[in-house]
Chain A
């Protein structure tokens, strides 16, 4: 039972354009969502997060949008840069108040930024 799904295994975007990565979840108990970036042979690096009491969070070039009714979130990167090429994981937890006891991850989307 895949509770967090990233349906696009890969995405290719031209440098300078917007990258949009999508994520869907099924568990209504999830109340905190995170995006991680992973380079080969390294652990995931935290990128940005959003609580279920918000619908948008922005940090520099990265914005995460949450649509609770659709159980959908997306990560927007603008403008996209070559260094953004990596695998991006969406993760969810049910720990908005007491902190995450565990994160449930999607399968990842490989983003390639073309010069």
Chain B
């Protein structure tokens, strides 16, 4: 049984470039979440999907950020025109919710650390 995987683990980019991260959730999980964590803070919610539908987006998710989950399996998070303030750890999590079972426990991947120079 594999957990949540994220690629790449590290990304260094120059300001103004676009970057894309990928998340593969636990296979039976139909909910997928993106969070961002900066130094000394807890993870902050960005957005979440149930299957392929994006159901909520945080105000933290500016129009330079876009997330997709086209087939309800893996997800991508793209940041356009990166800024130094985007430097953070981007975490993906997944959980299961179907019928009468709706889990609160979310399982996290190892994260992608983004550094914008």
Interface residues of A (CB under 8 A from B): 4, 32, 34, 36, 41-46, 49, 89, 91, 93, 95-108
Interface residues of B (CB under 8 A from A): 4, 6, 31, 33, 35, 40-45, 48, 55-56, 58, 91, 93, 95-97, 102-111
Number of A-B residue pairs, CB cutoff 8 Å, is: 72
Measured CA separation A102–B96 after assembly (Å): 13
| Given A101-B56, A102-B56, A103-B106, residue A44 in contact with residue B91 (CB < 8 A) | yes
Q: Which of A4, A36, A99, A108 contacts B103 (CB 8 A)?
A: A99
Q: Say yes or no: B48 contacts A43, CB within 8 Å.
A: no
Chain B residues positioned under 8 Å from A95 (CB to CB): 102, 104
Q: Can you list 25 A-B contacts with CB-CB less than 8 angstroms, sorted by A residue number? A: A4-B42, A42-B110, A42-B111, A43-B4, A43-B6, A44-B43, A44-B108, A46-B107, A49-B104, A95-B104, A99-B95, A99-B102, A99-B104, A100-B95, A100-B103, A100-B106, A101-B48, A102-B48, A102-B58, A103-B35, A103-B106, A107-B41, A107-B42, A108-B40, A108-B42
Chain A residues positioned under 8 Å from B4 (CB to CB): 43
Measured CA separation A107–B109 after assembly (Å): 19
